[in-house]
Structure 1
Amino acid sequence: MKTVGKKIRGILNTRVGFFMLAIILFWLKTWWTYLNKFNLGAKGSIQHLLLMINPFPTTILLFGIALYLAGRKSYIYLLLIDFVTSFWLFANVLYYREFSDFLSINLIKGSGAVSNNLGKSILGILDPSDFLIFLDVLILILLLAFKAIHMDVRPIKKRYAMTVTAIAGILFGFNLSFAESDRSGLLTRTFDNNYIVKYLGLNAYTVYDGVKAAQSNAAKNNANASDLQSVQKYIKENHVPVNAEYSGVAKGKNVIIFHLESFQQFLIDFKWDGQEVTPNLNKIYHESDTLSFDNFFNQVGTGKTADAEMMLENSLFGLAEGPAMVQYGTTNTFQAAPAIFDQNGYTSAAFHGDVPSFWNRDNTYKSWGYDYFFSSNYYPKKSAYSIGYGLKDKIFLKDAATYLEQLPQPFYAKLITVTNHYPYLLDKQNQSIAKTDTGDSTVDGYVQTAKYLDQSVGEFMNWLNDSGLAKNTMIVFYGDHYGISGNHKKAVAKLLDKDSFNNFDNAQFQRVPLMIHMPGLKGGVNHTYAGEIDVLPTLLNLVGIPDNDRIQFGQDILSPQKNQTVAFRNGDFVSPEYTKVGSAYYNTKNGEALKHPTVTQKKTLDQMTNHVATELSLSDRVITGDLLRFYTPKDFKKVDKQNYSYKKSKASKTLKADLDKNSLLHQNDGNSTTDMYKTDAPELQK
């Protein structure tokens, strides 16, 4: 044993040995931190393996720079970089504990949100075990100070140092390719900072975040107020008068936006196994006081849900690559629906049963001006309550009602459902319809989660009626994006009882529901071609808020003069007359390809193609250049992000202080209506 100990000490007394010890200690404490201080949601052997090994590549790279230095400088640099990276890990632990997210360059540089959010509360969130993050640095310093390990001042050949750097690069390449095999589009379609840390590590996330911040800041720095002139000119030239008949019909009413995850229009009135898949939504769709739209299309790109929210709340398109909420939501200036409604006397709130950091909502919602964000942090947590991307819809909506009844009226509230999310998994006790029989595992579970979502909506609507809230509320139901992609043509053809399913069919398949329901509303099925970009101008007209001077690319769907060319994010489009898919054009009415268009048709198609390209390009310019910072509409006050905090303790305090401001709870003399909420969720049955 003495011989083994002597050999180990001999190795540690070399610079390479000390370097290896530092890496092992840093790796151990980082892995321990991942497991004990963050909630990264690693599932399965692959994700747990990646979580364990991902600290190695960047640690070897950063610590390896010390091998290029001579003598004592090498040890000093290694200890310094060890301390700096440890401090960064420590800071992220504190921030994550408070906000379930990681620090970003823009968050620190642009918004001042770190000091504003943590501030005096830092002592309150410290845990003594947090200081174990610095234990490896202390061990190394003590080993050197007490000469248990001696500094090796002999030079190391540069080729050995370069070999270590190369090893770090190779390891990172393996790590990245392995991660991409488990989560495709990890870097190009960022869902959540947690994903980057889980798969690649905190240091890699920091570099990735820095690159993204540099790219977005470069675009902003090159933009100026004159860039907005072409946007304003386009908006003015394409503005259409709103439908006067519907102007202000919902003035003073509550507005609830029901975000139906992955819900497509074909599900309305669709039957399987002898029963309606969505009987509750079918009923709402056909009611006389519901405005229903059967040619309403999702227009999302790679951001999917994030793109849908961007269009719904801002009437701005998502970006061609990557979600704008993640890339620009923290620092950009927006003139979004929550702020517009808030500045017109409404309380604004978003409800979601997932972690607040997903799609960067915790930061973006501050930029949009949401007063409240009731994320998963606000609801009871049990493993049986969640599936996939958050709380099951029945449990989520019941829990959301406890906060909804406390909101001062009128309010603007968005409820984001998640159970009907790919890959459409549902535990057996919640299944109430058989899977379809296309043979495609992705497609066949879709009706089960869709029916569950529909049942959840039915329970919520019953509570809304029983509590009396429905009589003073306009509810908007919309599907955020497709549920079944064009990669499943054979299965979709069988599902829809069609002989085939081609690219034209897939373009038409992008229809999602839009229903606007309110007691006394003049309803019916509207056949106008429209998309998610058009929702905000339509809602503003219904509640009587003028939008003549706003930067919005949508139009009031109810306007007789609305342009019915619906742009897709990739430049394709649909309209009542023509559909474009790639380089092919089709007659929308019969689906036939226009192989030899007439001169008149070609002119029309060119105009429509140019219109779509211009619209997408200008919208992108607004976001990437942060152009709204140069313009404030009349009667609109710029949002100050630092005025918002989504801490549960603060929200509870504010709601309690506002109890006498016409909330449903106040109207009922402080008596809750949640006992009226009836659900058959098996997880909640006693």
Structure 2
Amino acid sequence: MLTLLKKVTNLKILWRKIKQTMDTSAPLVWFFVLNVVLVWFKTFVNYHMNFNLGAEGSVQQFLLFLNPIPTAIIFLSIALYFRGALSYWIAIAFNFIQSLWLFANILYYREFSDFLSMGILGSGSSTGNNLGKSIAAIIHWSDYMIFLDVVILVLLVVFKQLTIDRKGVQKRFAILTTVLGVVLMLVDYGIASTDRTGLLTRSFDNNYIVKYLGLNEYAAFNAVQTYNQTESRKRAKPADLNKIKQFVSQQKLPDNIQYYGTQKGKNVFMIHLESFQQFLIDYKVEGKEVTPNLNKFYHDQHTLSFDNFYNQVGQGKTSDAEMMQENSLYGLSTGSAMVKYGTNNTFESLPAILNQRGYTTAAFHGDVASFWNRDNTYKSFGYNYFFSKAYYPNANKPNFNVGYGLKDKIFLQDSAKYIEQLPQPFYAKLLTVTNHYPYDLDKENIDFPATTTGDKTVDGYVQTAHYLDQSFAELTDYLKKAGLYDNSVFVLYGDHYGISENHQPAIAKLLGKDKVTNYDLAQFQKVPFMIHANGLKGGIDHTYGGEIDMLPTLLDLLGVPDDQLTMFGRDMLSTKYEGVVPFRDGDWVTPTYMKYNNQYFNTKTGDQVTLDTDVDLKKTATETQAYVDKVLAYSDSVITGDLLRFDTSRADFHKVNKKTFDYKKSVGLAKLREAQKTNPSSVLAKNNNKSTIDLYKTDTPELNSSTHTNDDASVSSK
């Protein structure tokens, strides 16, 4: 009891000293400083307690420490422009506003692993509705501690425990204080931009914006994004779409009767090969094949393999590849279309197209659902299920992950328990991540020699690619044993380059050259595109194409009519296909000439040519550039204007109702269990509800050295 009384006495003494200091030396300034410290402290603490921002290294940790301060100073400095009690109440009000924003994001992040956006706040989306319904379940009593300082400050002012500064401060001091906040914000942004280039233009993930710039800065950034989107949407009109539809219809090619509908009704596995370049196929290091399993698959008589297939991504990288693969729409010239427009836009996407033809559609990704805004965009695309990090218990184990999610072997093995529960036919997209920059893998998983270019980043690339190759082999081995392989179509594609142009000396060594030209760098944009199915007439196809062409090509094989779809790609199987490949920056490739980095080359020989000396080039360049500029501009208009909301021409396609989808784990697992009863066509149901997971064999040391038990994702016969 005496100890407690002594502590209370000490607190009283401390408060008297603080109050004396504030009373005798610029009370309002001290009150301002106190509020800044309080706002900074609770924001910084909650960064670590309630958000998973993934700050690594001293620079990111410093920015996480710094970024709550600038806006706290800017907002709270507004109080310095006033006098008397009003200035104190204004300071408390801005403390409360920032606290409320922090509080709301804690609750939202706890449920959806993402931050609130203006689009979510301003719409009646299923996300917002679900959050409102479950607010009582997700809130913790400790969350209210965020407002404790505000309550105390209110009581101190109300009960006159603080001396009110009637004179206030000089206007010059107030202005300088605000300027200080702005300067600190610019310093923060400068350091952040150095550590993460293209931070605002590429918009990887909301976590990045908050980690580098701050929660309040994220709100401002998102507000600008939302405003730009709203304005583009407001200006759009049905006539804009009609013009584009006319253009698209003129580009439509006749189907190839040799292939059309030959794979109708089969399951579709869309396997995303992260950062996987075409040169890896048949490539050897010290006499060993980097990807022996993919090589065999590539050369199989039932695999259509395109060896002149290019990635066409922009700043959105992987998200751009997904936009093209699912919609045959290009990514944007800046930023990510999935991040900026995926939540609210109308799409005519492959998952929705197949879903409306009896398919179950599911995406699998061993990272947080919010990355590239997938948790919202996939609803717009029409996915029934999205199995993200929350569905994978192993994803919470540090050594089971690389920087962008679960290691591929673990991810694919753990995905099998969901694959076996999908009612057939199904469309399943599996996003691998281990072969991602910086191509770093722990020693226990490396059994392949690195290259010896002297570039540490590049030399590990073949090792992670080899690991991905082994992961693919384990998956296909399981699918054969589970009875899924022969009744499925497999589509494999590389999403973008793995080794950037910043590593030209290393690229030269990989290619066995003294130095590389722009022609070589253009060739380095090639990625694999393979379609395999039992009975499919395969072979190496030298047709020139790109990711924008994947959707119409696959729809040809599945026998899905696409006459009324707004697609900017073309069916690569059509005998009328010409092979014009636009790049996002306006460069292009044709079977005869290519333009890359403002230079022209003969596509076949690699010889540089010029407009002045080659008459044929001049004609091709003029026509091709006009087409490329038009198709990119039209695609941008579709996305930024949300033009597909005006499309009423399709009787066999219905707009996606995003409110019908919910990707929370509890909801997804419940739907799978119900599906085994209402549509017992899954492998699990056909196997009398007995799991086939024991057929999946993996050599990954993480699973073989630890206890690996099934979680609640398994459906038993109990």
Q: Could you tell me which residue of structure 2 aligns to residue 668 of structure 1?
A: 687
Q: Could you tell me which residue of structure 2 aligns to residue 274 of structure 1?
A: 287
Q: Could you tell me which residue of structure 2 aligns to residue 54 of structure 1?
A: 67
Distance apart, 1:77 and its partner CA:
1.5
Q: Could you tell me which residue of structure 2 aligns to residue 429 of structure 1?
A: 444
Letter in 1 for 2:582: A
Q: Which runs of 5+ in 1 are unaligned?
A: none
Distance apart, 1:3 and its partner CA:
9.6
Whole-angstrom CA distance in 2 between matches of 1:181 and 1:598 = 43
Aligned partner (choices 185, 194, 205) of residue 207 of structure 2: 194
Q: Which runs of 5+ in 2 are unaligned?
A: 1-9, 706-718
Structure 2 counterparts to residues 568-579 of structure 1, below 5 A: 568-579=583-594
Q: Could you tell me which residue of structure 2 aligns to residue 414 of structure 1?
A: 429
Whole-angstrom CA distance in 2 between matches of 1:500 and 1:253 = 46
Letter in 2 for 1:445: G
1:94–1:125 CA contact under 8 A, matched in 2: yes
Aligned partner (choices 9, 13, 19) of residue 19 of structure 2: 9
Distance apart, 1:598 and its partner CA:
3.8
Distance apart, 1:499 and its partner CA:
3.0
Distance apart, 1:198 and its partner CA:
0.9
Go from structure 1 to structure 2 and tell me whether the alpha carbon gap of 1:566 and 1:111 turns closer, same or farther (over 3 Å shift). farther
2:329–2:548 CA contact under 8 A, matched in 1: yes
Q: Could you tell me which residue of structure 2 aligns to residue 328 of structure 1?
A: 341
After superposition, the C-alpha distances for 1:469-489 in whole angstroms (9 at most, x for unaligned) are: 111111111000000112212
Q: Could you tell me which residue of structure 1 aligns to residue 516 of structure 2?
A: 501
Is the partner of 1:187 in helix, strand or coil? helix
Whole-angstrom CA distance in 2 between matches of 1:601 and 1:194 = 47
Q: Could you tell me which residue of structure 1 aligns to residue 628 of structure 2?
A: 612
Whole-angstrom CA distance in 2 between matches of 1:234 and 1:250 = 29
Q: Could you tell me which residue of structure 1 aligns to residue 645 of structure 2?
A: 629
My pick for the range that moved more, 293-302 or 108-117, is 108-117
Q: Could you tell me which residue of structure 2 aligns to residue 651 of structure 1?
A: 668
Whole-angstrom CA distance in 2 between matches of 1:671 and 1:38 = 39
Q: Could you tell me which residue of structure 2 aligns to residue 594 of structure 1?
A: 609
Distance apart, 1:113 and its partner CA:
3.8
2:412–2:471 CA contact under 8 A, matched in 1: yes
Letter in 1 for 2:19: R
Whole-angstrom CA distance in 1 between matches of 2:473 and 2:433 = 16
2:205–2:372 CA contact under 8 A, matched in 1: yes
1:111–1:642 CA contact under 8 A, matched in 2: no
1:12–1:21 CA contact under 8 A, matched in 2: no
After superposition, the C-alpha distances for 1:428-472 in whole angstroms (9 at most, x for unaligned) are: 110111110011112111001000000000100100111111111
Is the partner of 2:134 in helix, strand or coil? helix
2:518–2:597 CA contact under 8 A, matched in 1: no
Is the partner of 2:116 in helix, strand or coil? coil
Please say if 1:145 is aligned against 2:170.
no
Letter in 2 for 1:648: K
Aligned partner (choices 226, 229, 235) of residue 213 of structure 1: 226
2:401–2:407 CA contact under 8 A, matched in 1: yes
After superposition, the C-alpha distances for 1:261-304 in whole angstroms (9 at most, x for unaligned) are: 00001000100022110001001001111111111110001111
Is the partner of 1:658 in helix, strand or coil? helix
After superposition, the C-alpha distances for 1:143-180 in whole angstroms (9 at most, x for unaligned) are: 22333222222232111110110000011111111111
Aligned residues: 686
1:347–1:411 CA contact under 8 A, matched in 2: yes
TM-score by length of 2: 0.94
Letter in 2 for 1:634: A
Aligned partner (choices 439, 456, 465) of residue 450 of structure 1: 465
1:377–1:648 CA contact under 8 A, matched in 2: yes
Whole-angstrom CA distance in 1 between matches of 2:465 and 2:124 = 40
1:247–1:541 CA contact under 8 A, matched in 2: yes
Please say if 1:469 is aligned against 2:479.
no
Whole-angstrom CA distance in 2 between matches of 1:575 and 1:671 = 52
Whole-angstrom CA distance in 2 between matches of 1:675 and 1:400 = 13
Whole-angstrom CA distance in 2 between matches of 1:372 and 1:269 = 35
Letter in 2 for 1:608: T
After superposition, the C-alpha distances for 1:233-269 in whole angstroms (9 at most, x for unaligned) are: 2101111112111111111100010000000010001
Aligned partner (choices 676, 698, 711) of residue 679 of structure 1: 698
Structure 2 counterparts to residues 102-117 of structure 1, below 5 A: 102-117=115-130
Q: Could you tell me which residue of structure 2 aligns to residue 249 of structure 1?
A: 262
2:302–2:534 CA contact under 8 A, matched in 1: yes
Distance apart, 1:642 and its partner CA:
1.3
Whole-angstrom CA distance in 1 between matches of 2:606 and 2:216 = 51
Distance apart, 1:421 and its partner CA:
0.2
Go from structure 1 to structure 2 and tell me whether the alpha carbon gap of 1:255 and 1:4 turns closer, same or farther (over 3 Å shift). closer
Q: Could you tell me which residue of structure 2 aligns to residue 23 of structure 1?
A: 36
Please say if 1:295 is aligned against 2:308.
yes
Q: Could you tell me which residue of structure 2 aligns to residue 375 of structure 1?
A: 388
Distance apart, 1:197 and its partner CA:
0.7
Distance apart, 1:114 and its partner CA:
4.3
Whole-angstrom CA distance in 1 between matches of 2:65 and 2:432 = 32
Whole-angstrom CA distance in 1 between matches of 2:166 and 2:676 = 70
Go from structure 1 to structure 2 and tell me whether the alpha carbon gap of 1:72 and 1:499 turns closer, same or farther (over 3 Å shift). same
Aligned partner (choices 525, 530, 533) of residue 540 of structure 2: 525
1:549–1:634 CA contact under 8 A, matched in 2: no
Is the partner of 1:434 in helix, strand or coil? coil
Q: Could you tell me which residue of structure 2 aligns to residue 559 of structure 1?
A: 574
Whole-angstrom CA distance in 1 between matches of 2:57 and 2:126 = 35
Distance apart, 1:504 and its partner CA:
1.1
Whole-angstrom CA distance in 2 between matches of 1:50 and 1:584 = 41
After superposition, the C-alpha distances for 1:523-551 in whole angstroms (9 at most, x for unaligned) are: 11111101000000111111111000100
Please say if 1:639 is aligned against 2:656.
yes
Whole-angstrom CA distance in 2 between matches of 1:185 and 1:399 = 34
My pick for the range that moved more, 276-285 or 627-636, is 627-636
Go from structure 1 to structure 2 and tell me whether the alpha carbon gap of 1:6 and 1:108 turns closer, same or farther (over 3 Å shift). closer
2:314–2:333 CA contact under 8 A, matched in 1: yes
Whole-angstrom CA distance in 2 between matches of 1:509 and 1:83 = 53
Distance apart, 1:101 and its partner CA:
0.1
Whole-angstrom CA distance in 1 between matches of 2:355 and 2:332 = 26
Q: Could you tell me which residue of structure 1 aligns to residue 399 of structure 2?
A: 384
My pick for the range that moved more, 585-594 or 92-101, is 585-594
Distance apart, 1:111 and its partner CA:
4.6
Distance apart, 1:118 and its partner CA:
0.9
Letter in 2 for 1:242: D
Letter in 1 for 2:113: S
Whole-angstrom CA distance in 2 between matches of 1:505 and 1:110 = 48
2:39–2:98 CA contact under 8 A, matched in 1: no
My pick for the range that moved more, 149-158 or 281-290, is 149-158
Distance apart, 1:115 and its partner CA:
3.1
Aligned-residue identity in percent: 55
Whole-angstrom CA distance in 2 between matches of 1:618 and 1:29 = 47
My pick for the range that moved more, 141-150 or 54-63, is 141-150
Letter in 1 for 2:592: E
Is the partner of 1:40 in helix, strand or coil? coil
My pick for the range that moved more, 150-159 or 293-302, is 150-159
Whole-angstrom CA distance in 1 between matches of 2:492 and 2:415 = 17
